[in-house]
């Protein structure tokens, strides 16, 4: 009887170790959100940005803000003031999906005061992990976030 009990307990422990160690969980990495500039109109009236979701997770409740630094005499220390030109709110990107977003650029100021060669992007939303939604954000210069060949 003791021998059968010991075998049964050993078998249960071995199954627990095998099942516990065999599950591999995938983790979210925002570096797998791929940005690229598809089209920039020569007159700078709009910019088309392609976003590809290669994270393995669905992304929802996304908002994207496009901003440009203002050229001022006081921004030599890289703490320039930003001019938000457009926000796109409430869109989703499923895992493996690509979205192209055309962002119309509307500047109130003189174009000479805006650094058109250095757009900044802010993407915020939720990662859908099963029944949970976990907030995330990606912020930076678009040139640093775009896919490098």
Distance CA 71, CA 64 (A): 23
Model pTM?
A: 0.72
pLDDT number for residue 33: 92
Q: Spelled out in words, what is the top-level CATH class assigned to the domain 25-145?
A: mainly beta
Give the DSSP letter of residue 117.
Answer: T
Least confident of 10-24, 50-64, 124-138: 10-24
| 137 CB neighbour count, 10 Å cutoff | 10
Q: What does the pLDDT look like over 82-118, one tens digit per residue?
A: 777 778 888 999 999 999 988 877 665 566 677 777 8
Question: Residue 116: which of 140, 137, 138, 142 has the closest Cα?
Answer: 142
| 4 CB neighbour count, 10 Å cutoff | 8
Q: What does the pLDDT look like over 31-41, one tens digit per residue?
A: 999 998 886 66
């Amino acid at each position: 009887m003791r021998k059968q009990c010991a075998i049964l307990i050993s078998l249960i422990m071995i199954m627990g170790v095998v099942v516990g160690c065999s599950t591999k969980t995938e983790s979210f990495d925002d570096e797998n959100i791929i940005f690229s500039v598809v089209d920039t109109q020569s007159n700078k009236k709009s910019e088309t940005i392609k976003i590809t979701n290669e994270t393995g997770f669905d992304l929802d409740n996304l908002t994207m803000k496009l901003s440009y630094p203002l050229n001022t005499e006081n921004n030599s220390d890289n703490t320039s003031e930003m001019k938000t030109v457009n926000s796109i709110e409430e869109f989703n990107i499923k895992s493996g999906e690509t979205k192209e977003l055309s962002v119309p650029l509307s500047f109130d100021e003189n174009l000479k005061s805006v650094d058109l060669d250095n757009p900044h992007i802010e993407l915020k939303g939720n990662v859908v992990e099963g029944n949970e939604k976990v907030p995330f954000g990606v912020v930076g210069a678009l040139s640093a976030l775009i896919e490098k060949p």
